Structure 1
Amino acid sequence: MNSATETVNDTLIIRPAGRIDSNTAPQFEQDVLGPINGGQNRVVLDFGDLDYISSAGLRVVLMAAKRLKPSGGKLALYGMSDPIREVFEISGFLTLLTVCADRDEALAAVAD
C-alpha cells in the first residue's frame, strides 16, 4: 500500500493504492491521522486505486472521522469499487460516513 496526497482548496485528498490490511494499516494510519493531528480538518479519501481493505483499515477510517468531529472537521470518501463498498456496507460504515459518487461531490461535502 502506498498513498498519494494532494491539496485542493485547503482540503487534503489521500489516495491509497493496493491493499490496506493488518500489515499496511499502520502506514495508512500515519498517512491519514498525521495531517489531522497536525490541524488538517477537511479530508477526502479517494479509494479509486484501493484493491482491498480489512477491518484494520476500517478502524483507521473510523478513527479519522472521530478525530475530525470535535474540531468541526469533515471527512468524505469516494471512488469505491463494488468489493470495497461491500466491506463498508457489511460493516455498517456507509451509514456513519459521507460516501460520495465522485471527486467533485466529495470536495463539496467537506467544504465550509
Structure 2
Amino acid sequence: MEKNSMKITITEQNDGMVATIEGRLDTPAAIKAQQEIIPLLENADKTITLNCKNLDYISSSGLRLFLTLRKEAASKGGKVIISNINDEIKKVFMMTGFFNLFEITNS
C-alpha cells in the first residue's frame, strides 16, 4: 500500500458491520471513501464498528465522514463504535469534541 493511500475493508460480523480503515483519511481519500461507505449507511440500523488500528491520519473531511455515519445510525436506531485509535487520532478527537460523540473502545 502506498504511503498516502487509504483502504477501507467492510465485513459483516455478528449483528453489525465492521469497517477497517487503513492509511491516511485525508480530503481526497474521504471523497473516494464516501462511495465506499454506502454499505455502512445502508446498514446504519445495526452496530457499525470502525476499526482504526492502522489509520495514520484523519482530516476534517474524514471526520465529517464519521459524523455522517453517526447521524445516519442515530436516525435509524443503530450505533457507531470506533475502535483502536492511535494517540495522534485520539488527540484530534479530543480537540474537535469527537471523543464525546462516539463510543470509543480499544479492542
Q: TM-score range by the shorter chain?
A: 0.7 to 0.9
Query: Secondary structure of 2:20's match?
Result: strand
Residue 28, structure 1, aligned to residue 33, structure 2: yes
Write the deviation string for residues 54-110 of structure 1: whole angstroms up to 9, x where unpaired. Answer: 0000000011100111111110001101001111111100011111121xxxxxxxx
Which residues of structure 2 form unaligned runs of 5+? 1-5
Q: Structure 2: how far apart are the matches of 1:36 and 1:45?
A: 10
Alignment of structure 1 residues 78-93 onto 2, 5 Å: 78-93=83-98
Aligned residue type for 2:73:
L
Which residues of structure 1 form unaligned runs of 5+? 103-112
For 2:58, the equivalent position in structure 1 comes to 53
Contact 1:3 1:16 in 2 (8 A): yes
For 1:4, the equivalent position in structure 2 comes to 9
RMSD (Å) for aligned C-alpha atoms: 1.3
Residue 14, structure 1, aligned to residue 7, structure 2: no
Query: Secondary structure of 2:55's match?
Result: strand
Q: How many residue pairs are counted as aligned between the two chains?
A: 101
Aligned residue type for 1:38:
E
Q: Structure 1: how far apart are the matches of 2:7 and 2:80?
A: 20
Aligned residue type for 1:62:
L
For 2:42, the equivalent position in structure 1 comes to 38
Q: Which of 51, 75, 79 does residue 70 from structure 1 map onto?
A: 75
Scaled by the length of structure 2, what TM-score is found? Answer: 0.87
Scaled by the length of structure 1, what TM-score is found? Answer: 0.83
Query: Secondary structure of 2:50's match?
Result: strand
Q: Structure 2: how far apart are the matches of 1:35 and 1:84?
A: 24
